[in-house]
Structure 1
Amino acid sequence: MEVLEKMISEDEDVLLPGFRFHSTDQELVGFYLRRKVEKKLFSIDIIKHVDIYKHDPWDLPSMISQKYRNSIRLNRVTGSGFWKATGIDKPIYSVGAFHNCIGLKKSLVYYRGVQGKAVKPIG
């Protein structure tokens, strides 16, 4: 126990044993992502920025690129396949009196191969 306390006092950027990040959608968007957009940093880097569109599911995590030069659409192609959005976006509402929509949750499915000849994974 003494060793752990010494480590913590020497370096505040340590995650404690048993630490588990289990936030709600509202906490992720309304607190963590909002602080990131506002460039308000934390003393520890709890949430890493990872562009999942660049990686096969088994190779997560790497940087984001656009599908076309002057487009806001993202390139979701990886080395072995591509990510495809499925269903409708689920709104995320703020907690409080107004319940404003603060974000959208998108579901993605990974397909192996090239578009048109891709295989949807089982499960």
Structure 2
Amino acid sequence: MSSLTMVEAKLPPGFRFHPRDDELVCDYLMKKWNGCESALLIEVDLNKCEPWDIPETACVGGKEWYFYNQRDRKYATGLRTNRATASGYWKATGKDRPVIRRGSLVGMRKTLVFYQGRAPKGKKTDWVMHEFRVEGPFGPPKLNPTSKVSFPHLL
């Protein structure tokens, strides 16, 4: 039995993990930065697995998966994020959406869609992911392109 299954077994009947965007940023992602682990969320390396291969342990009572992922850079000295996998890539769609708590910006939500194949001829799939990052006064310091510090993202 996985540790996540054991945690779910202790929850009261009818419990549903359905956090709001601001709860994901403030109550999970910011706490992760401060070293507080959550029994409900695991780390997944999205560059080493396909969406359909993400461990079932990332699933909390339903078809939605919540997990942490370290941002991978496309180039060692650049700012572009690497979102490629062995069989495809995650492509950003639309514009980033602000995550607000008590009138203040606390984070941003980016929507990504998985495409099989290589750009620009990849085939769009039904896999959708929402990537959250901390922004505003609580966010990471603005880094220069040569910095190799990586901050966790909640996906």
TM over 0.5, shorter chain = yes
For residue 120 of structure 1, give the secondary structure of its aligned residue in structure 2: strand
Equivalent residues of 2:113, 2:126 under 8 A apart: no
Provide the identity percentage. 40
State the alpha-carbon separation in 2 of the partners of residues 104 and 74 from structure 1. Answer: 15
Cα 1:22–1:52 change in 2 (3 A) is: same
Q: Which has the higher helix share?
A: 1
1:114 to 96, 113, 118: 118
Distance 1:108 1:53, change over 3 A: farther
Unaligned runs of 5+ in 2: 1-5, 56-68, 128-155
Q: TM-score, normalised by structure 1?
A: 0.72
**Structure 1 residue aligned with 2:98:** 91
Query: Larger Rg: 1 or 2?
Result: 1
Equivalents in 2 of 1:122, 1:90: separation in Å? Answer: 21
| Greater RCO, 1 or 2 (C-alpha within 8 Å, sep 6+) | 2
Cα contact 1:84–1:110 (8 A) shared by 2: yes
Instruction: Return the offset for 1:38.
Output: 1.5
SS at match of 1:32: helix
Aligned Cα root-mean-square deviation (Å): 2.4
Aligned-residue offset at 1:41: 3.6
Q: Specify which structure has the higher proportion of strand.
A: 2
Contact in 2 for aligned 1:53/1:83 (Cα 8 Å):
no
Please list every run of at least 4 consecutive aligned residues from structure 1 whose deviation after the TM superposition is greater than 6 angstroms: none
Give the CA deviation at 1:26. 0.9
- Equivalent AA in structure 1 for residue 88 of structure 2: G
Size of the aligned set, in residue pairs, is 106
Could you say which residue in structure 1 is the equivalent of 2:63? none
The equivalences for 1:7-26 within 5 A come to: 14-15=7-8, 16-17=10-11, 18=13, 19-26=15-22
